[in-house]
Structure 1
Amino acid sequence: MNDRSVISMTLKGMEMSMTGNAVRAAGVSALALLALCGQALAQSGEAQPNITDPHFKIAPGYLKKTDLPDSLILLGPPPEKYSAALARDEEARKATISLRGTARWKLAYTDADLAFPQAADNFSCAMDIKIDEKQTPRLYAMMRKMLSDLGLSTYGVKNKYNRVRPFVVHNEATCRADQEAILRTDGSYPSGHTAAGWGWALVFAQISPERSNELFKRGIAFGQSRVICDAHWQSDVDAGRIMGAATVARLQTNATFLADLEAAKAEVAAAKAKHAVPTADCAAEGIALSGQ
């Protein structure tokens, strides 16, 4: 068994032994373990990007690092000081200030949580079924694997520019005080959360094309939650969508992903035949989204 297999089994075992709340509560220990795993990967000869956001280091993805789309090729630099692009970012931030403390702000809070099962719950209403380990295990596992690929695709540019986040520039609070320490050291451009949300939405629309409009709308809103949360600039979100789409395109050539995609289509169809509706308050989510 190679180092990657051992690491994958270790991480899988760690995740299976914790609930979503326990994972967050044990953040320091988890980060320490992940750092050790990163060292083991380096010793195995596979270079890894400098990943400062732990969301994108937990589950092994479908793609090798060399197969990921290269953000250094696909994206330019973030907006420069005094540029029209930066002025647009500032206007987009100001336009969301009135949403702070509202239902939309609270939705941005939950959208910021990429831990499972919350990450799956975020898209259950748009898919019109509950996405979970029991009912849709293949889809649930796909989301976790894709999260790593989608997030890692952003790190070339993240590491090069290490853009400062809007809440730091303006000395403000985000919608997630518990994540701010990590965000202060993790580059803002492009948005890994947005890449994940948009990538998920694109694949979900493949699985359930009759829900594509709802899924695309939710995927767009998921990215905009980062601006509303004051965790990202609008240009970070725009660039995150590019990397999400590029990663999904690359996944279409991966045999393991394609097999999982077909299995997920079958289990989603079966769940819908049983009328297994989401347990989330979809009416409340719809009201919150109308406030964006």
Structure 2
Amino acid sequence: MQKIISRFLFTVAICGVAFCGAADDVKLYMNADALPNALNFLPPPPKVGSAAFAYDSSQYVWGKSMRADSARAALALAQATVDVAEMAVLFSEAFGMEISSKKTPAILNVLKRGVLTMRLAARGPKQFYKRPRPYEYFNESTLIPSADEEHRNTGSFPSSHTVRGWAMALLLAEINPTAQDALLKYGYEWGQSRVIAGFHWQSDVDASKLIISGCYARLHADESFNADMRKARAEFRRLSAKSKR
């Protein structure tokens, strides 16, 4: 994993935090209106002065302290990508197989369509609450200062990065259940990286996982998703059997 992270840090140095390459034209499984609406089932983010906000603040302090750990800081920097193919590279070790358009096209297809569909569910609450991000609230810099201005005033609740990371962890765990613990651990770390980087409150990250749980259930009521998932699992079984010969 350290080699993978090092490769990503090299990419950051060349392309910037937003990473190189244009987004693929991906056909989504459904639009935002068909997904669960977090405004109807989740409470709002914690109010300033509440016990929940005190916990958010303490987690912000914890996140800053973790930046002193060079390996954890490097992981948080690598996990700042929102490109699905780049995310798949980072998840490959936990998955137990390299994920790429060349080697696993069916798996990458369901990841792209699934992640980019589910990420739509974050837009409504982000725009509705317009919660200031922790680095804005405390008037400090993040782990990635070059991205501070880009994220300013874009809404902190929920965390779109966590939405993507947790969505990918669930998709891959369904494809390869034997790796579910490692994948969920990595997905959890993906969310915590946003706390460490200073872009999100802990409650933003936690809410994202609840939103994706609802979205994931909704995807399973869509036949095109189920068909893609069957192809992805078949591809995984075929490649796994081939690697054991």
Q: Which TM class, normalised by the smaller chain length?
A: 0.7 to 0.9
| 1:14 alignment partner in structure 2 | none
Q: 2:43 aligns with which of 54, 57, 76?
A: 76
For 1:137, the aligned partner's letter is P
| 1:122 alignment partner in structure 2 | 90
| 1:184 alignment partner in structure 2 | 152
CA displacement, residues 205-247 of structure 1 (integer Å, 9 cap, x when unaligned):
1111111111111111111111111110000000000111111
> Equivalent residue of 2:221, what SS?
coil
| 1:112 alignment partner in structure 2 | 80
| Separation in 1, partners of 2:26, 2:88 | 15
For 2:41, the aligned partner's letter is L
| 2:139 alignment partner in structure 1 | 171
Query: Is there any run of 5+ residues in structure 1 with no aligned partner, and where?
Result: 1-19, 31-54, 277-292
Query: Is there any run of 5+ residues in structure 2 with no aligned partner, and where?
Result: 1-13
8 Å contact kept, 2:28–2:117: yes
| Separation in 1, partners of 2:156, 2:54 | 16
8 Å contact kept, 2:111–2:171: no
| 2:194 alignment partner in structure 1 | 226
| 2:215 alignment partner in structure 1 | 247
| 1:153 alignment partner in structure 2 | 121
8 Å contact kept, 1:135–1:271: no
8 Å contact kept, 1:96–1:228: yes
1:1-292 paired onto structure 2 within 5 Å: 21=15, 24=18, 59-101=26-68, 102-275=70-243
8 Å contact kept, 1:80–1:86: yes
For 2:240, the aligned partner's letter is K
Runs (4+) of structure 1 exceeding 3 A deviation are: 20-27, 57-60
CA-atom RMSD in angstroms: 2.4
| Separation in 1, partners of 2:167, 2:32 | 17
| Percent identical | 36
Offset of 1:93 from its aligned partner?
1.2
For 1:85, the aligned partner's letter is A
Residues 1:95 and 1:264: Cα distance change in structure 2 (over 3 Å): same
